[in-house]
Chains A and B, each alone.
Chain A
Amino acid sequence: EAGVTQSPTHLIKTRGQQATLRCSPISGHTSVYWYQQALGLGLQFLLWYDEGEERNRGNFPPRFSGRQFPNYSSELNVNALELEDSALYLCASSQSSPGTPNEKLFFGSGTQLSVL
């Protein structure tokens, strides 16, 4: 079974530019989560999509946005990039319905975003 795939692996941008990160969940999974892993800060919750809808978002400014497509893949967009946006962005997918007790997240390898 193919795992969660993320692209690109690395992304280098300059301040003010826009970045687009992509995630393909495991086949059959409808939920996609995005997390930011900045150095020393652990995983910070960004966004959660399920069945094409945004279900919840973390404490990030509106320039962080995303969407989920009909095939359940997802995009994370970061506008007006700032230096502190440099981080590893992890995507995770889940098969279970939101709120079910057996939900298990499967993570991708991440996209390392560097803002210069």
Chain B
Amino acid sequence: AQRVTQPEKLLSVFKGAPVELKCNYSYSGSPELFWYVQYSRQRLQLLLRHISRESIKGFTADLNKGETSFHLKKPFAQEEDSAMYYCALRPYSSASKIIFGSGTRLSIRP
């Protein structure tokens, strides 16, 4: 079964400290992976996707197929990074749903 696991419900770090939000997935084939973010009083929106190999707002995420992980990282946290982060997966298939993890709330302390 396809599953996305975000083991931390809450992650609190100081401003300027490194951030790593963990995401592990369960899928036997080649998935497409995403990180979505929801800032306070805003809509859920796409942050980045592994296929683009991009860095958005200083965040990067590398797909590790051996460890089936797609952790989100940022070297120096900023207060505006405080938000709810969701990892999501979709198998490469013409009729595949996008599955989300349960989310991690990131809180940046000043």
**Chain A interface: which of B11-19, B53-61, B68-76, B85-93?**
B85-93
Find out whether the CB atom of A42 lies under 8 angstroms from the CB atom of B51: no
Interface size class of B (residues with CB under 8 A): 20 to 34
User: Shortest beta-carbon distance, B11 to chain A, in Å?
Assistant: 15
Find out whether the CB atom of B98 lies under 8 angstroms from the CB atom of A45: yes
Bound CA span A33–B36, Å: 15
Q: Which residues, 25 to 81 on B, are CB-close (under 8 Å) to A? A: 32, 36, 43-46, 49, 51
User: Shortest beta-carbon distance, B43 to chain A, in Å?
Assistant: 5
Bound CA span A92–B102, Å: 17
Please classify the interface of chain B as helix (H, G, I), strand (E, B), loop, or mixed, using the class held by over half of its residues: loop
Picked from B36, B43, B97, B103, the residue with its CB within 8 Å of the CB of A58 is B97
Interface 0/1 of A71-83, CB less than 8 Å to B: 0000000000000
Known: A3-B43, A56-B95, A98-B95. A103 touches B90 (CB 8 A): yes
Find out whether the CB atom of B103 lies under 8 angstroms from the CB atom of A42: yes
**Chain B interface: which of A13-21, A62-70, A104-112?**
A104-112
Known: A42-B101, A42-B102. A105 touches B32 (CB 8 A): no
13 A-B residue pairs with CB within 8 Å: A3-B43, A40-B9, A42-B101, A48-B97, A55-B95, A56-B95, A56-B96, A92-B44, A99-B92, A101-B32, A103-B90, A104-B49, A105-B36
List B residues at the A interface (Cβ < 8 Å): 6, 9, 32, 36, 43-46, 49, 51, 86, 90, 92-103
Give 18 A-B pairs besides A40-B9, A101-B32 with Cβ atoms closer than 8 angstroms: A41-B102, A42-B101, A44-B100, A45-B97, A45-B98, A48-B97, A55-B97, A56-B95, A56-B96, A90-B44, A92-B44, A99-B94, A99-B96, A102-B51, A104-B46, A107-B44, A107-B45, A108-B43
